Structure formats: structure tokens, C-alpha cells
Amino acid sequence: MLTTAFFLAYVPSINIRVDTFVLESVLTQVSFVVFVQISTLFLLGAYSIIWRYISIGDVKVFAYAALVSGGILLALRFLLNFTTYNLWQVPISVIAIDTILGFGGLLGLRVLRRFLYEFGQRQPSKHKRVFKRKKALLVGAGRTGATLVREIAGRGDSELEIWGFVDDDPRWKGGLVSGFKVLGGTDDLPRFVDEIGVEEVVITLDNASGKEIRRIVDLCADLGVKTRIVPSLDELAHGKVAISRLRDVQIDDILGREPVVLDTANLAGLLSGKTILVTGAGGSIGSELVRQIADFNPKTLVLVERAEYAMFEITSELSEVDLQTEIVPLIADICDLDRVRQIFSDYCPEVVFHAAAHKHVSLMEGNVAEAVKNNAFATSDLGRIAGESGTTHFVLISTDKAVNPTSVMGASKRLAEIAVQELNRLYDTRFVAVRFGNVLGSAGSVVPIFREQIRRGGPVKVTHAEMTRYFMTIPEASQLVLQAAALGSGGEIFVLDMGEPVKILDLAKDMIRLSGLIPFEDVDIVFTGVRQGEKLFEELEMTGEDLEKTHHPKIFIGKIATFSTEEVGQMFSAFRRAVEVNDVIKIRWLFNQMLAEASVTSGEYDFSELTLEEEERYYAQHTSFGSVAK
């Protein structure tokens, strides 16, 4: 191609500056010119590009090569002696025409190869599975839509037959994206479904909000059309899927949490090259913390988990990834202090993320002493061992249920926060706690419960029509926990921005619709009543608390009153005595006495409605301990 282009550049009918075809000059110069051009292409990496996958980005390589080789030839023309090297001086017009024809031809060859490859891919093969193709429209004609349509159009085994785009930006209407027309806006979908017979709509909006996705899903549900969506940025970034692997719209998409922007330099300083220990490493939050921490290449990642299968799952997942980090899976109960001390002695972790806890509200109402032992005592003891071992950072994963707690779980986590603040005064370790609300898809949370109830055909059980909760995704919560850990100087209780509260009834309806069913028709919704310890509305800060801004827009510091060392000692001593004899009534009573913001019911009476004298009289009648002073 390059040799032919050089000969053509000398042809008078193409190059009007050359009067005759000078064969001697051509034969002298051609090998040298082609050598310069090929060398330039090689040095700039043009020969590393696979022809069948040539793209717009690759054109830059050939453009740079053309400029560099043309510049070299022009420089030699003026630098060589006119008398001695006359035959080696390539005319300027020949250099210009040869560069255009030669490099244009090289690009043309590669584009032709890609065309033939894609044409072959589009043809059905007797060895390929033949799909009945569904007529589909793409909602969103931006970069995501253009990328997806190229992927789908280039595959002969695609199950979708793309008919075009719809986009609400009026500037796009009537335009072509990768050869497919933008037919109109989303308001025109009913007409397109009727006229074209569309069977599926794929959401390819760039940076779509949850509100916008909900609107499109509801519109398509009314039209009886299936809706799918491209994978999330998190899935694509971690290489879990390709953009062409469409999936059903999920509740995470509708809630539309914004991506978290992290201060990676700050996190690298906290995690890179360090020994990190994560308790509850097989749980929903713990396992995601492990994944996020692994991205920062710590020296050693110690995973502590009591559940054997949960540990097996996360370690198996990590074994599939090429990590420079040593992974140490340890089966252990954080309440077993001898085992915990041995782990700290063996591995000397520099940073600890404490995610192990009993988190299920209604279960803990029936297991009061266990909640206190696991959530409060184990946190206090684990933190004390960390402080004695020289750990630099200790991060407690807390909960919004610790705010004005009405449940045993919430109150026990509030005790854990108090323990962490006290330990921060006693040791050089930076102890911090991070509060956030419900995470979508975590074990025992409402989303997998609703999903299973829908799978069984219903009914979906909602406690109260007005109950609301804050939600965030597991990756978002984990990323913000890491960021808060890097921000903390010690003693802070960080509060994460949970966005807007979501009505549980609306969540149930959305999940039923996303399953292709109609709420109250195909799947019924029943109301079971608020359970003991539950609130209708979750709170993010206590009455009288102020939230102080940090450098991160989604992380705040709760200005929360602390207890003196003497008060904390008395508090934990009283709880330990009650737990030793499994005195459930006393534990509940102590929550309300020791934590001014708590209003934990006794199971029979609501202590918050009684005077102190009435509480003591009630308590004296129901326990062997007798009257107890505050």
C-alpha cells in the first residue's frame, strides 16, 4: 500500500507539480521513504492494533505516524545537499500526496477488515444458536446508547433487533446514532409500541436518575413491554460484565443513588501496604469492605468470620482475582477473647474494620443478652485488645438505629459507640464509629425478603403503610466507611448522607412491578403491624445533635454528648451483671436509665411512660435484684 501510494504520488495526472514520471528518482527514493513510514508506524504502536477491532481512537495513531514521517521527509529534503543528494530529495508535493494516499490506504484496509468481520458476525451460522429476535428500542441516544448499539448490531446471535432510539433531548430527534435513527421522545413510546410492535425497551441513559428510571419502567409496565438496562458503572468498572450484557431493572436503579467520589490518595495512605483486619468479613458490609480494601493493595488482609460458608464465599471470590495482597481467612467468634488476642498477636493489624454484629431488630428483641454481649461487650473488648496491640485505626460499623433507640439492637449499638469513644481517650489508636441506615440487598434486609415473597406468589408483607426507611447500596456504604476512616482523627461518630427516605410500601410496589406483575392484583400486599422495637420513621441524629460538615459532601460528624470514664465503667458493670444472669427485664430497664435518649420497651410495659419510682417498683416485682438506683 505504501509503495503503491509513493508511485502514484509521482504520476502527473495526480501530482500536477511533476511534469514527467521520473523513474530513476522513484526507484531511488521508494525503499527509503517506505522504511521511514513503516518505522514510524512500528514505533508508535500501529502494528499492535488488531485490524478487526480498529476504532476511532486508533485513527490518532495513524495520524501521528503520518505527521511524524512526513516531517522527517520534509526535514531531509531541506537538510540534504542539493548537488550530492539530488536523487534522494523527495518533492514537497510528493510527500504530501504520498502521506495522504499511503496512510489513508492503510486505514482503509483496516476498516475494510473490520467491516468484513462484522458482516460475518451478523450472518447466522449453522454452529450458532439462532434466537427469535425481539423488536427493541433504546431509551437514551448518548454515549452509552451508541456503545451498546454497536455491540448489538455487530453480533449475529443477538436476541434483539434494534429499531432505533428515543431520547427526550429535542436536539437529537431525527438524527442518526451508529446508523440508527432517533425516532422521538419517551412520550412517543406508546405510539412506537403500537406501530412497530416493540417487545422490549432498553434503558441506555447516561447518568440516569432513579426518578427517571422509575418513570420509564412505569410507562413500559403500562404498555406491557419488558424493560432492561445496561449494567451499572460499578459492575463495568470492576470488569464483572460487558456493556452488552443487559440485565433487568433492579430496585437499586430506581432508588438512584449517586456514585461516590473518593479521595483515593487519602485512602491509599490509610490502606496501601498495611495489615488490615475485617471482622464479619463474610457479611454483606464486611465482604464489600474486603473487596474495596483489596483495590488499595494492602500488605495483608485478615478476614475474621464466624460463619464458615460466608467465609468460603468471600475467599473463593478473592481467589479468582489477581491480587498482590496476602489473604488470611480466620474462622473465629469475636466474643472469644483468647482467640481474638491470638489473632492480634500473630498478625498485628494496623487498621481494624469492625463489621461483625447482630443486626436483625426483631430477632434481637428475643435475644437481649446476646445482643449486648456481641454488639457492646465484644466491641469494647476487641477495641481494648486493638489499643493494647498498637493498632493505629479502629472503625466501628454502627447504625442509624442507635439514634434515640427503641430496640434492643439499636440500644446495644449505641453502647458500642460509647465504648469506642471511651477507648479513644485511653489509647493512642484512632477509634471512630460510622452510622448509616439500611443497605439494599444485605442479608436479612427487606429487599431479599420481598423478592422471595414475590417469587412465591405473595403476599408481600409490609408492617405499616406509612413506614419509611433510608437506603443506600452496599458498595456506596462501604466506600463511605473507608473514606470516613481516613478522615477520622479519633473519637468521632460519623453520619453518612442517606438521601431521601423511602416508603416501604412504595418499595414493595416497585419490586412487584419490576417482576412484571401488578400490585394488589397479581401479588397482594398485606399489613402486619409494627413489631416490637421498630420505628415508623428512622432518624439520623438525636434530638439536640448537630451535624458538622467534613471535607466529603456525604460524610458528617455527629456532635454527640460523651460520658465520663467513671460513667462508662458503671454503665458496663451494670450491664455485665445483668447479662451474666440473663436478666432480660433489667437489661431493658438499664437501657432506658443509662441512655437518656433510649425508650426500649420491656415487652410488657413501655418504660418511657413510667416515672422512675414506678419503674423501680415494677422492676422490684419482676427480678431477684430488687430496687436499683440510677
Q: What is the pLDDT of residue 630?
A: 36
Q: How confident is the model at residue 243 (pLDDT cuts 50, 70, 90)?
A: very low
**Which residue, among 151, 91, 157, 99, has the nearest Cα to 126 in the 3D structure?**
157
- Cα 44 from Cα 64, distance rounded (Å): 8
**Could you read off the pLDDT of 327-351 as tens digits, one per residue?**
999 999 999 999 999 999 999 999 9
Q: Read off φ and ψ for residue 192, nearest 5 degrees.
A: -65, -40
Q: Which residue has the higher pLDDT, 167 or 350?
A: 350
| Residue matched to cell numbers 426483631 | 362
Say how far residue 239 (Cα) sits from the centre of its chain: 12
Judged against a pLDDT cut of 70, whether residue 533 lies above it is answered with: no
Q: How many CB atoms lie within 10 A of CB 205?
A: 21
Percent of the chain with pLDDT over 90: 21
Strands, E, within 47-88: which ranges? none
Q: How far is CA 246 from CA 33, 163, 223, 236, 517, in A?
A: 49, 17, 20, 12, 20
Question: Is residue 295's pLDDT more than 80?
Answer: yes
> What does the DSSP assignment read for 565-623?
HHHHHHHHHHHHHHHHTT-HHHHHHHHHHH-TT-----SSS-GGGS-HHHHHHHHHHH-
Crossing angle of the two packed helices 92-122 and 2-9, in degrees rounded to 10:
140
Q: How many degrees, rounded to 5, is the angle at CA 589 between CA 584 and CA 594?
A: 125
Q: What domains lie within the chain, and their CATH numbers?
A: 2-122 (no CATH), 134-249 (3.40.50.720), 264-441+472-498+544-559 (3.40.50.720), 565-622 (no CATH)
pTM of structure: 0.64
Q: What is the mean pLDDT of the chain?
A: 79
Reported as a pLDDT band with limits 50, 70 and 90, residue 460 is confident
